[in-house]
Structure formats: structure tokens, C-alpha cells
Copies of this chain bind each other. A is one copy, B any other.
């Protein structure tokens, strides 16, 4: 392929570099009138970026950069199904799973039809499981589903199941869903210890049906069924597979009507919308799962059609590039202020770091700037008693995403007070991080609290806050399948836009290969 001009040689990139030297500190920017207009909404998600260190001049150059990098044309190519995964020569068509209308006509209809057939199959199956319509080896109903999968086969299903547990209270499933991803036997054992083999089924999730971690977990699960009295000819009742290799699953003894289809154009970290979502469909019901898809699809439509200055995923991507490549924030903290979103940081860790943790341009040239940030964080309320000290007074510049939900359906008498306090904490922290408190103010405050001048002088430096920490506030009206679908799709498109801006491949993951190669060369017993 022809070599594109490197992003850092583009005029917009260079103008952005120059702007960093004249930009007032965030504390000053916050005084500008009209900052409350720095908001975008789409598909039930609102982004408030008024606490980002940007002004009109910066925003214009960011949009110019998106334009120079043809980001939106690249997005259209993805939606059309072009082979944008260059190093593996295939499409990245997770958007088709939630009903893209932009697919190329010749084969788009065929894909859309396959997707619909499989969606109907696995959501109907989910309803059957929810209704206790699956029977184990003793002809009693299956009451517990254990998901066996790792990476994308675990993080997405687990995030959605946990995040929507408050919502799903109103649509209770007749079964419990559990997750085991880690190969360590204790993980499987501690889950199975409370379960009854006659009433437990396993969803084995592996696109290739060769993932060693998942297959070993599945082997142990089958041994547990056997030791629990399950005769070999009834084991298939307890086994369900989600894979692109139905042939391998069938050869391993899985029943045809317990095998659900994936395709090679679905990457693991983009697969929650496919049959990999089966445990979510079981937890939510078919209608809930379709709502999740509809929320993502609404975000897709927004992303494809909104002009750059009103385009939420693109704006998130540009703000990220601004922080990472220009403002010296190589890491990105995600702080949900909703307990049900506890898994979101781990989910985004995979989505961002596995997609864009790259150092090679699409044409094979070496990248000369930072690409994916290190994504870290954790629940905001807990973080305030842990990692926030470093955010407030450490020596790192970190950009944050705060995530808040306006309503809370928890049926406890004091829940409104809990919720109000949670959201007030979110607001107070984003303000404190942005504004800080200077030494003079701190000293005066200490003296007004009764400290003598000398002590106030001595302690003030330790109790001063530099501020200038930028953050996005991402708000959901409520945590529903639809808004969660939109939130995840938003982050997917953010990651896509950043790859396009950086001119890297977001859809391969060659970084995982070398470890596997060396693993094969290790003797069967450990070397240390």
C-alpha cells in the first residue's frame, strides 16, 4: 500500500503541538463563558467535556486532524464491510451484528440474513434456558449456567450481565449465570463447589475452538460432570458451544442444537453482540438482548451520520489524542460511579489496549508517538480511598472518564440518599481535580481553621493541589440494555477513530503470538 503522510507531519498535528504552549491552564479555561455548551448527546449517552483542557482553537485543529486523516471515510469503509483488517485480510463487521444498513449490497444481504438466523436461534435458546426448559442427566431442569471463556468471551458477557443485573430484577431468569475465565483450577473449583452437576450446564466460548485455557476448563468441567454421576451419553445435555468451528465442537461431542455460530469477521473484543452474548441473553431475556443491540445500533447511526463537531465517539477519540499525544497523559483512568459498572475498566482495558496497543503503521512503518493509553482505574467511590491521592497530588498527568447514572432502581429505603451522595462525590471530584487549590488559598484556609502562621506555612505545600486534571463526564439517564449497548458501541467507535487518526490496525492482535510460541517450547513441567 502507498505510504500515507505520517500523522505527526500533518499541519493540524503541528498546529496542535504549537497550541500546547499557549493554552491557559484548565483552571483558567473553566472561567470562560459558555463552557456548559461543551456537551454532546447520542443514543441515551451524554458527554460533558467542559472539564477538558480545550478551547475553540484546539477543537478546530482536532477536527482538522480528523478531516486530514479521513476518519469518517474510514468508518464508512468499515460499515461497508471492506477488508480493513489488513494484516489478516478480512472485514471487521461487528456493526452488522446490530443491524447495519450500510453493508455492501452484493453480500451484505447474505450476512444480514445469517446474523438474523443465528440471533433468533440463540435468543430462543436463551428463553428456553430461562424457562428451565433444559434438562440435565437426571431429567431435572438446569438451574445454573457456567460461562467458560477468556478475553472477549468473558469480559463482555460478564460486564453486561453484571451491569444489567439491577435492570434484570424485573425480568428474573429461572437460572443463575456464573463466569469462569481463569485457567487456575481454584477459579473453576470455587464456582462449582456450590453447584449440583445434575442441574448445571456449561457454555464453552471459543471462536477457534482451540483456545487452550478454555478447552482445559471445559475438560475439567466434563470431568466434574462425570464424577458427579453424569453418564457419557448424557453429557451433551450439559454442554453448549459458541464457536466459528462447529465442526470441532461436534467432533468433541457437542449436540448440533447446542452449537451457536460465530464468524471470522467478528473479533473477540467486539463479539458481545454475537452468540458470545448468549449468557447475557439468558440473564436479560431475548427482548432485553435485542434492546442491547438496538442501543448499539442507535450509536452506530449517530456515529455514521453526525457531523464531526457533533459526533460523540469522534469527539471522545480526539480528546483522547489531545491528552495522550499533546498534553502528556499516556494513561487513561476510568472511574464509574455506579457499582454495576465495576467491570467497565477491565472491559475497556482489553478494548483499547488490545486494539491500539501497537507500534506499527498500517504500511509497516514504525510509529513515533504514543498510541493506546494504559487504561486503568476502578469504581470511583472506592478509588477516592485508594488511587485518587495520586490523581490529586502525584506527579502524573492523567485524563479521566467519570461515568454517572442519573437514576438508581435499587429497592432499599435509603437508596435515594446513597445515590445522591454517590453523584455528589462524582461532581466534587471532577471539580477538585480540575481546579485544584493553590498554596496561598491553602495557607489562608489552614490559618482560618486556627493554625498558627508557622505551621500553616509548613503544612500548606503538603495540602496544596495543582489541579489541571482533565476529565470527561459521561452520563446515562438510566442503566438499561439500550444505554449500555450505546455506551459500549461508543467506546468501540472511539477506539476505531483513534486507530484511524494514528494510522494503525485496530483489529489484529499479533502481540499475543510470541508468548504462545514460547509456551510451546517449554517443557511440560515448569522451569522454576
Residues of A within 8 A of B (CB): 48, 87, 150-152, 154-155, 165-166, 181-190, 212-213, 216, 219-220, 223-224, 227, 268, 330-331, 337-340, 342, 346, 349-350, 353-354, 357-360, 364-367, 369-372, 374-376, 378-379, 381-382, 384-396, 398, 404, 406, 408, 410-415, 417-425, 427-429, 431-432, 436-437, 458-466, 473, 475, 505, 508-519, 521-522, 524-528
Contact = CB atoms under 8 A, between A and B. Distances in A.
Contact of A428 (B227, B406, B463, B518): B518
Contact of A48 (B189, B394, B415, B528): B528
6 contacts: A87-B462, A189-B412, A357-B387, A360-B393, A371-B394, A432-B517
B512 A385 contact: yes
A208 to B, nearest CB: 12
Nearest to A219: B414
Nearest to A377: B376
Contacts of A219: 414
A374 B374 contact: yes
A494 to B, nearest CB: 16
Contact of A410 (B185, B342, B358): B185
Given A87-B459, A414-B219, A528-B423, A515 B393 contact: no
A478 to B, nearest CB: 13
A183 B525 contact: no
Contacts of A517: 432
When all copies of this chain in the complex are counted, the total is 2
B420 A354 contact: no
A372 B429 CA distance: 21
Contacts of A463: 87, 510, 513
Contacts of A331: 331, 374, 376
Given A212-B421, A374-B374, 9 more contacts: A184-B337, A185-B412, A216-B414, A220-B418, A349-B378, A354-B389, A427-B522, A431-B518, A463-B513
Contacts of A393: 357-360, 510-511
Given A354-B387, A382-B154, A389-B509, A374 B398 contact: yes
Contacts of A365: 461
A526 B392 contact: no
A151 B462 contact: no
Most-contacted residue by chain B among A357, A418, A508 (CB, 10 A): A418
A417 B186 contact: no
Contact of A376 (B338, B376, B428): B376
Nearest to A337: B184
A395 B466 CA distance: 27
Nearest to A184: B339
A431 B518 CA distance: 8
B165 A387 contact: no
Contact of A360 (B338, B349, B461): B461
A389 B511 contact: yes
A525 B216 CA distance: 51
B360 A372 contact: no
Contacts of A508: 462
A413 B461 contact: no
Given A350-B386, A388-B512, A421-B216, A189 B411 contact: yes
